[in-house]
Amino acid sequence: MKNKHISQVGEKELIKILLDKRDKKLVVNDKKVQKSYHDDAALIKNVTNYTVISTDMLIQHTHFPKQMNPYQMGQKVVTVNVSDIIAMNATPQSILISMALPPEMTLKEYDELTDGILNKCEQYNITLIGGDINQNSEIILSGTSTGIIDEEIKLQSNIKEGDLIGVSGELGGPAAALDLLYEKDNIPEENKKEIIKTLLEPELPMKLSQTLRKYPDITTSITDITDGLAVELGHLSDKNKEIGFEIYYNKLPYNKNIEKVAEINNKDLTDYLLHFGEEFELLMTINEEEYKKHEDELNLHIIGKTNKSDKITLIKEDSVEIIPTRGYEHLKDD
């Protein structure tokens, strides 16, 4: 067992091994960090509020498609990290970024990279407060973001039966974009650009996030969809025993042009929508009554409802399918 390669068990199991060991060492009443373990970000209790903190590392060959320029890389490291903060219903506050850069990078490229970082910080109203620069053959950007939340901590284990399931925006764009960049395409240049932008320049639903903080009773849980809708539903299911999730296929929001991309590339549209990720939209479970009060302000897509079946199902016009909660996992052999 111990001589197995780590790629035989994969990222998920590796994290479990680490956290199991960590938990054995933990003093049970370590209140500073007790609620922090398995959500999008960790919580540090202050006197009257919580500091929310999360980290994400991006490595060129895995996370930056060849077509991504330094400006977009800089944007992405900020977006990925702030995404975890708004997924905790917290107000983004600051970011630290450690970089490893190749020596032959030009100053012009460095300038673009740092513009991408700082312009995104400005857009999200956060400050870059720290970092580190190293040398490496390819670009690595490791961010740590912080946020603040006063009291209504939005953990992922509070889902109730009968909650609505909502997403903040269109799904499937990044999956289709990858096929457009690397595989076949024959769709108009303008539609193409719009799809590719979802992969190379992802945006966060900041306005929605602000509204959700204003009305903390609306959501019973929030997470981002970085690993794909199916995987994220799987995580929520793990944390909420006896809760089932039914998703209405015809309510899933997407850019109609990705249907063509799927067709040309012999892909299943469902895979784009459910099994890819890199989305940076928010997935929420929602108290229906509270939602109705502020529906007009929210601009949400309601895609399903929770039940007590303990299953994750996809309701199509003429069938009900169980959604497999598979998705991409780092360090896992196929």
Site for a copy of itself in 80-99 (CB under 8 A): 93-94, 96-99
Residue 28 binds a copy of itself (CB under 8 A): no
Query: In angstroms, what CA-CA distances link 100 with 69, 105, 110, 312, 331?
Result: 16, 11, 12, 40, 21
Decide: is 18 part of the binding site for a copy of itself (CB under 8 A).
yes
Report strand pairing: 282-286 vs 219-224: antiparallel
Q: Which of residues 15, 162, 182, 184 is near a copy of itself by CB under 8 A?
A: 15
Which CB atom, from 140 or from 208, has the smaller least distance to a copy of itself? 140
Closest contact distance (angstroms) between CB of 222 and a copy of itself is: 17
Tally of CB atoms within 10 A around 197:
15
CB of 295 to a copy of itself, least distance (A): 33
If you write DSSP's letter for every residue of 263-322 in order, what string do you get? HHTT--HHHHHHS------EEEEE-HHHHHHHHHHH--EEEEEEESS--EEEEETTEEEE
DSSP character at residue 168? S
Lookup result for tokens 């690397």: 182
Positions in 253-292 near a copy of itself (CB under 8 A): none
∠168-170-176 over CA atoms, to 5°?
145
Q: Which residues inside 313-332 make contact with a copy of itself, applying CB under 8 A?
A: 330-331
Nearer to a copy of itself, 55 or 157 (CB): 55
According to CB under 8 A, which residues from 120 to 149 bind a copy of itself? 121-122, 127-136, 140, 142, 144, 146
Q: Does 44 bind a copy of itself (CB under 8 A)?
A: yes
Q: How far apart are CA 192 and CA 197, in angstroms?
A: 9
**Least gap, CB of 107 to a copy of itself (angstroms):** 5
Taking the complex as a whole, the smallest distance from the CB of residue 66 to a copy of itself amounts, in Å, to 17
Give 22 or 293: the residue with its C-beta nearer to a copy of itself: 22
